[in-house]
């Protein structure tokens, strides 16, 4: 069978990569260029043209990337816990609304019949008596009763509470979006700190190599001098190069 072979320099993003366990937590498709991918944890673009999936594997093996993914997963877990708590609060509010609706129905029934159906002795037949018994078993919040006849608070107060809950929901969504943006920029700052530390380590390694080179050169000069070999003076270009590498002189 004929296989589709991607030519070097023509590698494109494959949607199947998004389902792989090694990529699914951080890989994002670049909507503007199919020859690039994006890392959600590091906030970087990954060039695919030359290496293809090997570029993703190479990026995933970096220490800075692993630390950024760890922070991203921790932030997602915190957001999920916060959303779960908010959902439980909203469910309790919905239960309260259902109880209020049942109480409204009882008040409407009292007004239509002109009787108080909360007492079993005022029922016209046994069927309604059993229905009243079931209604009496329902537990309502104490804030909705002001008299034995199940007098409900003013409807305007209930609508005010509903508006307040809607405002609180909108405010919580804005807070959640703000937390996500804050977490994203914190991750960028931590990644920048890691990159800065890597640059410092590279500079220290270069300085150590230069110091070892100077010590070796001085040792060779001393050895040749003891053997009676005349050492030619270094050229001006080499002197300038040593001064450049050794700012202390």
Residue 53, domain extent: 8-61
> Rounded to an integer, what distance in angstroms lies between the CA atom of residue 167 and that of residue 235?
79
Q: Do 68 and 175 fall within a single domain?
A: yes
Per the domain annotation, does 19 fall within a domain? yes
Q: What is the pLDDT of residue 26?
A: 83
Q: What is the pLDDT of residue 245?
A: 54
CA 217 from centroid of its chain's CA atoms: 54
Q: Do 68 and 179 fall within a single domain?
A: yes
Q: Do 19 and 80 fall within a single domain?
A: no
Q: Specify the 3-state DSSP secondary structure of 116.
A: coil
Q: Do 148 and 174 fall within a single domain?
A: yes
Residue 30 pLDDT > 90: no
Q: Do 28 and 126 fall within a single domain?
A: no
Q: Do 52 and 69 fall within a single domain?
A: no
Q: Do 42 and 121 fall within a single domain?
A: no
pTM: predicted TM-score of the whole model, two decimal places? 0.27
Report which listed range, 95-99, 127-131, 214-218, is most confident: 214-218
Q: Do 85 and 136 fall within a single domain?
A: yes
What is the rounded average pLDDT of the residues 23-47? 82
Per the domain annotation, does 199 fall within a domain? no
Handedness of CA 169, 170, 173, 179 (dihedral sign): negative
Q: What percent of the chain has pLDDT over 70?
A: 59
Closest CA to 61 of 12, 20, 11, 23: 23
Q: Do 18 and 134 fall within a single domain?
A: no
Domain boundary among 151, 168, 192: 192
pLDDT tens readout for residues 104-145? 777 667 666 665 544 544 444 444 455 555 555 555 555 544
Q: Do 122 and 165 fall within a single domain?
A: yes
Q: Do 74 and 162 fall within a single domain?
A: yes
Q: What percent of the chain has pLDDT over 90?
A: 15
Per the domain annotation, does 1 fall within a domain? no
Query: How many domains does the chain fold into?
Result: 2
Q: Where are the beta strands (DSSP E) in 76-227?
A: none
């Amino acid at each position: 069978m004929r296989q589709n072979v991607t030519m070097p320099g023509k590698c494109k993003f494959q949607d199947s990569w998004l389902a792989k366990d090694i990529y699914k937590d951080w890989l994002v498709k670049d909507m503007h260029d199919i020859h690039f991918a994006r890392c959600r944890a590091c906030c970087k673009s990954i060039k695919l043209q030359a290496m293809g999936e090997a570029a993703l594997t190479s990026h995933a093996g970096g220490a800075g990337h692993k630390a950024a993914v760890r922070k991203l997963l921790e932030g997602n877990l915190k957001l999920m816990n916060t959303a779960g708590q908010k959902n439980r609060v909203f469910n309790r509010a919905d239960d309260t609304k259902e109880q209020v609706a049942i109480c409204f129905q009882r008040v409407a029934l009292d007004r239509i019949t002109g009787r108080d159906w909360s007492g079993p002795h005022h029922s016209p037949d046994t069927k309604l008596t059993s229905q009243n018994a079931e209604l009496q078993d329902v537990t309502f919040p104490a804030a909705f009763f002001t008299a034995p006849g199940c007098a409900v608070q003013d409807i305007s107060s209930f609508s005010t509470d509903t508006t307040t809950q809607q405002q609180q929901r909108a405010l919580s969504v804005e807070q959640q979006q703000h937390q996500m943006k804050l977490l994203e920029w914190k991750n960028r700052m931590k990644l920048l700190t890691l990159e800065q530390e890597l640059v410092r380590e590279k500079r220290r390694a270069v300085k150590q190599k230069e110091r070892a080179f100077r010590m070796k050169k001085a040792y060779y000069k001393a050895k040749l001098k003891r053997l009676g070999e005349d050492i030619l003076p270094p050229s001006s270009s080499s002197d300038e190069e040593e001064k450049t590498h050794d700012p202390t002189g």
